[in-house]
Amino acid sequence: MENPLPLIPAKRYFTIGEVSDLCGVKPHVLRYWEQEFTQLRPMKRRGNRRYYQHHEVLMIRSIRDLLYDQGFTISGARNRLQEIVQTDRDKRRNSAVILDGVDVFEAGDLVPDDFEDSVDSEDSESDRPDLSMGSVAHQRLQLVRRELFEIRDLLSPAY
């Protein structure tokens, strides 16, 4: 069985040597991939030193998987990566369409101002389950929960 790649540390920037170790690819291969995959654009600082961000490390791992494990050619991997990026864009657009027209609210707005008026005064606190929010607030929380799951799915590597 092949050794799994190490976990990516919680850092903002990675040098080419660190990325090489994290992805199991030599630095000269990373420089070559920058020319072949337009999505891969590390920041360059003094002396042309490359600094990769977390999402670029994930992309390099995806490219490595496509080329080495799945047997894609450079051209095939480039096309597959573009498909993945397009799918992610479509997901984001669909999320925006779904959320279009939905009121944006702050954390303090979770319980509506008129909540006290909307609760039946005949209900006693002990008769109801421990839900201190009305159905409007519950629907808002469900919407936020769904949106958070969609954000999580967008951020997790899908390739």
**Residue 92 within a domain:** no
CATH of the domain at 3: 1.10.1660.10
**Residue 26 within a domain:** yes
Q: Report the predicted TM-score, pTM, of the whole model to 2 decimal places.
A: 0.58
Instruction: Compute the average pLDDT of residues 122-133.
Output: 47
Predicted pLDDT of residue 142: 85
Q: Which domain holds residue 45?
A: 1-83
Spatial contact of 57 and 19, defined as CB atoms under 8 Å apart: yes
**46 and 121 co-located in one domain:** no
The beta strand positions in 64-138, using DSSP E, are none
Q: What is the pLDDT of residues 50-93, one digit of tens each?
A: 999 999 999 999 999 999 999 999 999 999 999 988 888 888 88
**16 and 78 co-located in one domain:** yes
The Cα 102–Cα 9 span in angstroms is 37
Q: Among 83, 117, 132, where does a domain finish?
A: 83
Q: Which residues pair with 52 in a beta bridge?
A: 14
Q: What is the pLDDT of residues 9-53, one digit of tens each?
A: 999 999 999 999 999 999 999 999 999 999 899 999 989 899 999
**Residue 54 within a domain:** yes
- Cβ density class 93-127: b for 16+ within 10 Å, e for less: eebeeeeeeeeeeeeeebeeeeeeeeeeeeeeeee
Q: Among 18, 49, 83, where does a domain finish?
A: 83
**Residue 89 within a domain:** no
Question: In one letter, which amino acid is 76?
Answer: G
**Residue 97 within a domain:** no
Please tell me the total count of domains within the chain: 2
**128 and 64 co-located in one domain:** no
